[in-house]
Structure 1
Amino acid sequence: MKIRKGLISDIQGVIAQSRERAIRSVDTERVLMYWHIGKIIFEEEQQGEDRAAYGTFLIQSLAEQLQPQFGSGFSKRQLYWYVQFYRTFPNVSALRTHFNWTHYKTLIGIENKEKREFYKAEAAKNNWSARQLERQVNSQLFERLLLSNDVKAVLQVAREEKRPTDAKEIIKDPMVLEFLGLKREAAYYEKDLENALITHLYDFILELGNGFSFVARQKRIHLEGDDFFVDLVFYNRLLQCFVLIEIKTDKLTHQDLGQLQMYVNYFDRFEKQGYENPTIGILLCADKNDAVVKISLPENNKSIIASKYQLYLPSEQQLIEEVKKEIEKLDHPKPTE
C-alpha cells in the first residue's frame, strides 16, 4: 500500500505552523511579563522620597534576589530595561502581539518619540522581523525620508493615515545597499551591481520601500529596429504605477536622465493601463549633481528621481549634515539667473 502523495508535506506544514504559533505565544507572554515587572518596579520607585536613589537601591536589591533564582534575565541591567519598557509604552493595549522582546529593545533605544512611532508603525505594517527593524534603524531610514518630506507626512504614510501620492514619500535618497557585500573601494561594472541586486532581491525590495514587487530584469524595448533594455522593472501597488530603475556606477549625466525619460515615456504609452498612474523612473547612481538633475528635468517633474546609492551604513552625523544642507537650501534658495 502507498500513502497519499503530499500527505507528509501536509503534516509537516501543520507541525511547522503549530511550532511557529507556540513560539509566538511564548514571545508574547515574555513581553507581557517584562512589561508587568517594569510596571511594578516603576510604581514602587514612586513611593520613595528620593526616587532616583531609591530606584537604584530597589533594582540592585531585586537583582540580588531574583537573578540566582531565575537567571540572567533578571540581572540589574535587564531590570532597568523592563522599567524603561514600561516608561516608553505605559499602555499595555498598545503593545503589538507579533513583536518580540528584541523588537521592543530596539524601539526603547530610540529616544525621539516621532522617530520611535515611525519605526513601530513601519515594523507592524510590513511585518518586519527584529533583525529587519534593527537594520532599518541602523540605515537611518527615518532621516533619509525626511530629506524630501516633513515629519508629519512621513508619519502619516507609515501609519497608513495617508496614501502616498508622490514617489518621494516612499523612495529614499540615498539608498543604502550594504547588504550586497560589495567593497566601496573596488571597481565594478553596472552589470555586477545589477547581478548583486537580483541575488539580494528581497533585501533590495525592503530598501526600496513599501508596496514594491519585482516585474522584470533587462526589459527589452524595441523601437523601429533599435533595441533598448531597462535594467530593472518594479510595480508599486501603493502608487499604482510601474517603477523603472536604471543603474549607473559613476556620476549621473544629463544623457542618463534623457535615456530614462524615454523609457518612462514608452511605458506610459504602451505598458500602462488606463486606471494606473504615470510611470516613475529611478536613476540609481554612484554620484549626482543636484543642479544638473534639476535643470535637466521639467520644473513640475514627478516622474524621474535621481537617488544616490552607498555600499555602507551611514553614520547619524552624516545624515544630520545632509538634513542641514536641505534645510539651508529651503531657507536660502539660490537666485535664478
Structure 2
Amino acid sequence: MTDHPLTASAWGDDYRDWLAELKQRVERSRQRAAASANRELVSLYWQIGRDILERQQRRGWGAKVVDQLARDLKAAFPDMRGFSPRNLKYMRALAQAWPAPGFVQQPAAQLPWFHLCTLLDRVKGAVERDWYAAKAMEHGWSRNVLTMQIETAAHLRAGSAITNFSERLPPPQSDLAREVLKDPYIFDFLGLTEDAQERDIEQALTRHITRFLLELGAGFAFVGRQYRLEVAGDEFLIDLLFYHLKLRCYVVVELKTTPFRPEYAGQLNFYLSAVDAQIKAPEDQPTIGLLLCREKNRLVAEYALRGMANPMGVAQYQLMREVPASLEARLPSADQIETELRMDLRDG
C-alpha cells in the first residue's frame, strides 16, 4: 500500500507558517547569491577596463588591441559571454567613468551590467551618473525605468517643487518630503493634448495608474480619485488621494488646468486640515499637499504658500514632453516634412 502525498493544509497552520518562512529564506538567499555574482562580474569588468586604459596610455596601444584581446579571451573562455569588442569598450568606459579604486563600494557597482551600459551611453556628467546609479539602486529601477528617468531628466526635476515644508515640517520630515516632489511632472504617457480638461486628465491618470505612480516616485500608494469628504453637512471631493509609505503620511493632489492662483492654495489648505481631522491616524505624520498646475509664477506661488498653515507644494505638469533645444534645432520643419512626403509620393 502506497502513501498518498498530503497537502500543506493537512499539516495545519504551524506547517504552513514554517513553509512560508522557508520560502522567504530561500528567495532571500537566491537574491543575495545573484547580487554577489553580479558584484563579482562588474568588479571583473571594471578591472579589465582599468587594465586596458593603463596599457593604452602607458604603452601607446591603439584601439586595435581591444579587438585582439576580445579574440584571445573568447578563445580562452569559449563558454563565457561578454568578451566582445563592444563589451570590452564598455569596460574601458566604465573604468574611465569611475576611476577611483573604491568603485566596488559605490552604488554603481551594485547595478546590473546593462544598467551601467545605459548610464555610460546616456549620461555624460559624473555627478548625474552617480545620482541615477544611487536612485536606481535605492528604488530597484529596471533598465527601462532607468532609461525613462534619464530621458525625462529626473535629476533636474527631483526636489524642485516650490514648498513651505521647511516652515511647516520638522527637519527630517521636511527634507524627505521636499525630495519626494518634482517639478515639472511629465504626463506624456496619457496621450492627451494641451486642451484636455481636469476630469479627462484625472480619468487618464487613474487608467494609467502604474505609469502615474512611477512618475510620482517610489513610495506612493493610490487611495482614491474624487475622494469624498463631508464637513458640517457639505460635500467636498479631493482630486487624488495617496499615502506615502516612507513619509508615513497622506498626500492630497489637486489638479488644475490653469496657471497657479493663490486661492488654489487656500482650497488645498482646507483639504489638508480635513484629512488630518477625519482620516489621519495618530501615528501618521501631517498630511502634505501638491498642487499640479499647467504653469506657475514662482514668486506668486512662494507668497501664497507663506500664509498656509499646512505643508504643501506647487509644481507644473506637462502633457507632452518638451524637445530639448539642442535637438529641436536639428528637427525638420513642417514645410520640409511636407516637401519630402510629396517627393516620396512622386517617386513612388
TM superposition score normalised by structure 2: 0.70
Query: How many residues were matched structurally?
Result: 299
Q: Deviations along 1:127-149, whole A, 9 cap, x unmatched?
A: 11222222111111111136469
User: In the aligned structure 1, how far is the partner of 2:97 from the partner of 2:130?
Assistant: 11
User: In the aligned structure 1, how far is the partner of 2:204 from the partner of 2:83?
Assistant: 43
The letter of the residue matching 1:133 is: L
- Quick one: percent identity of the two aligned structures? 32
**How many angstroms does 1:263 deviate by?**
0.5
Does the C-alpha gap of structure 1 residues 302 and 136 become closer, same or farther in structure 2, counting only changes over 3 Å? farther
Q: Deviations along 1:140-172, whole A, 9 cap, x unmatched?
A: 1111136469xxxxxxxxxxxx94514333200
**1:262 corresponding residue in structure 2:** 270
**1:214 corresponding residue in structure 2:** 222
**2:345 corresponding residue in structure 1:** none
Q: Identify which of 100, 107, 111 aligns with 2:124.
A: 111
The letter of the residue matching 1:108 is: L
Mark the runs of 5 or more structure 1 residues left unpaired by the alignment. Answer: 150-161, 319-337
User: In the aligned structure 2, how far is the partner of 1:164 from the partner of 1:317?
Assistant: 37
1:79 is the counterpart of 2:91: no
**How many angstroms does 1:173 deviate by?**
0.9
Q: Does structure 1 conserve the Cα–Cα contact (< 8 Å) formed by 2:222 and 2:243?
A: yes
| Equivalences for residues 217-296 of structure 1 within 5 A | 217-296=225-304
Q: Does structure 1 conserve the Cα–Cα contact (< 8 Å) formed by 2:131 and 2:155?
A: yes
Q: Deviations along 1:214-238, whole A, 9 cap, x unmatched?
A: 2333221112222111121122244
Q: Does structure 2 conserve the Cα–Cα contact (< 8 Å) formed by 1:138 and 1:313?
A: no
Does the C-alpha gap of structure 1 residues 195 and 22 become closer, same or farther in structure 2, counting only changes over 3 Å? farther
Q: Does structure 2 conserve the Cα–Cα contact (< 8 Å) formed by 1:163 and 1:238?
A: no
Does the C-alpha gap of structure 1 residues 302 and 314 become closer, same or farther in structure 2, counting only changes over 3 Å? farther
**1:157 corresponding residue in structure 2:** none
User: In the aligned structure 1, how far is the partner of 2:8 from the partner of 2:206?
Assistant: 34
Q: Identify which of 145, 166, 176 aligns with 2:186.
A: 176
Q: Does structure 2 conserve the Cα–Cα contact (< 8 Å) formed by 1:164 and 1:238?
A: no
Q: Does structure 2 conserve the Cα–Cα contact (< 8 Å) formed by 1:45 and 1:55?
A: yes
The letter of the residue matching 1:165 is: S
Q: Does structure 2 conserve the Cα–Cα contact (< 8 Å) formed by 1:230 and 1:246?
A: yes
**How many angstroms does 1:113 deviate by?**
2.3
Q: Out of 224-233 and 209-218, give the one that drifted further.
A: 209-218
Mark the runs of 5 or more structure 2 residues left unpaired by the alignment. Answer: 11-18, 163-170, 327-348
**How many angstroms does 1:282 deviate by?**
1.0
**RMSD (Å) for aligned C-alpha atoms:** 3.8
User: In the aligned structure 2, how far is the partner of 1:285 from the partner of 1:5?
Assistant: 54
The letter of the residue matching 1:241 is: C
Q: Does structure 2 conserve the Cα–Cα contact (< 8 Å) formed by 1:264 and 1:280?
A: yes
User: In the aligned structure 2, how far is the partner of 1:252 from the partner of 1:223?
Assistant: 26
The letter of the residue matching 1:245 is: V
User: In the aligned structure 1, how far is the partner of 2:44 from the partner of 2:115?
Assistant: 15
Corresponding residue SS for 1:264: helix
Does the C-alpha gap of structure 1 residues 94 and 20 become closer, same or farther in structure 2, counting only changes over 3 Å? closer
Q: Identify which of 101, 114, 118 aligns with 2:113.
A: 101
User: In the aligned structure 2, how far is the partner of 1:6 from the partner of 1:25?
Assistant: 36
User: In the aligned structure 2, how far is the partner of 1:292 from the partner of 1:165?
Assistant: 21
**1:44 corresponding residue in structure 2:** 55
**How many angstroms does 1:6 deviate by?**
8.1
Q: Identify which of 109, 119, 129 aligns with 2:142.
A: 129
The letter of the residue matching 2:292 is: L
Q: Out of 95-104 and 77-86, give the one that drifted further.
A: 95-104
User: In the aligned structure 1, how far is the partner of 2:302 from the partner of 2:180?
Assistant: 20
Task: Find the structure with the greater CA-based Rg.
Answer: 2
